[in-house]
Structure 1
């Protein structure tokens, strides 16, 4: 009897393992999506030859702070705030000593200023105490800092250190990944997992910026400009949005 149960349990385990996909399958098989993403990247690199973060910075720490400020805020707004901010607080140590209420006022226009100020002061203190006043250059260490998740860490790693340890998933990457059939997930970490399975590692550094530029200029949230899209022939959502354009005429 025990042997029968053991065999049944083993069969059940094998069935569950076989049925559990490692990546989401919308948009074709893994191999099909890998081939399509290579074509998409090739075309977007020609369309946007000079991709980079839109945030202005001079040091890894300035980029780290700017990226935190950019949460639920535009890069343009952050770039208006950071020059005066970094003039007032020129070092990690000076931000570690900042008064929270005063820092809140300095960054108020970026929104969610209380949480942002608290995290910036806390991570500055941790950098001084645990990292000799330097920003670490690994995912493992960056996500230990207060207020730093994988998206922020990926942006710092790719732009400040040119290290490919993941793919930053922001609102643009999330939207385009769904429309292009690259991932059907909602959770940023799961979307990143799907993308890392199909995007060649050599393209991880710039992939976020390619999709961000295309998302801002063409594949916009409310009214995507599909007729102008250079990758419309590779997009499974093109037909759906084309019908919307036809309905407007």
Structure 2
């Protein structure tokens, strides 16, 4: 992908712009974090553009993490100003999440693209099943467990999220609400967790991708700069469109459609790696 024609470079830019628009609309429709949308859309876009399969998923994950630096900062600030970020929990939890990010990011940088795709596919299936079958308001316990289980949960959230290229919402919100956490506080705290994941995660993606062959042009390690600069404004622009559409459609049906999309994506990724 190093010697692209102007046409191919333009096609890449259009594909990445479309990725941001799709991610923004779906995020606005369902209130989900952009990463869980951006990574699979980038995966399909890069596959269609014939990006080297050995780095395809690494670049999708790294670029997604970089976008969270911008979108996550805005989201976390907004939730903090509304008092919906549990700072006491973050003070006790941040280091376990950060250790998980370092461990997961290091592992992601040293495994094959196929293995990384398999991780995303399996977790996407789990998230899809949670969205489809878990009843609203159901929980496992009345409060978060004590040490060391609480720290282990933080470690896993950080490690798995960075390997998937997602922020704190996809795994953080279901985990917190599983322990009877108020949904608004769970969403706000998860937004802040997204920054704990994105900062070291992006740096690790740059480090481990430095000098790797087959990456799309204008990539800093595994972070594609064209994607970074196009996805952020496009997703920001499109999110209100999704929110507007959401008011005209039954949210439960939207949730089901997205869960089916995630499930299909997860199965397709797993199938592509295994078979």
- TM-score tier, shorter chain, comes to under 0.3
TM-score w.r.t. length of structure 2: 0.22
Q: Over alpha carbons, which structure has the higher Rg? A: 1
Structure having the larger proportion of residues in helix: 2
TM-score w.r.t. length of structure 1: 0.24
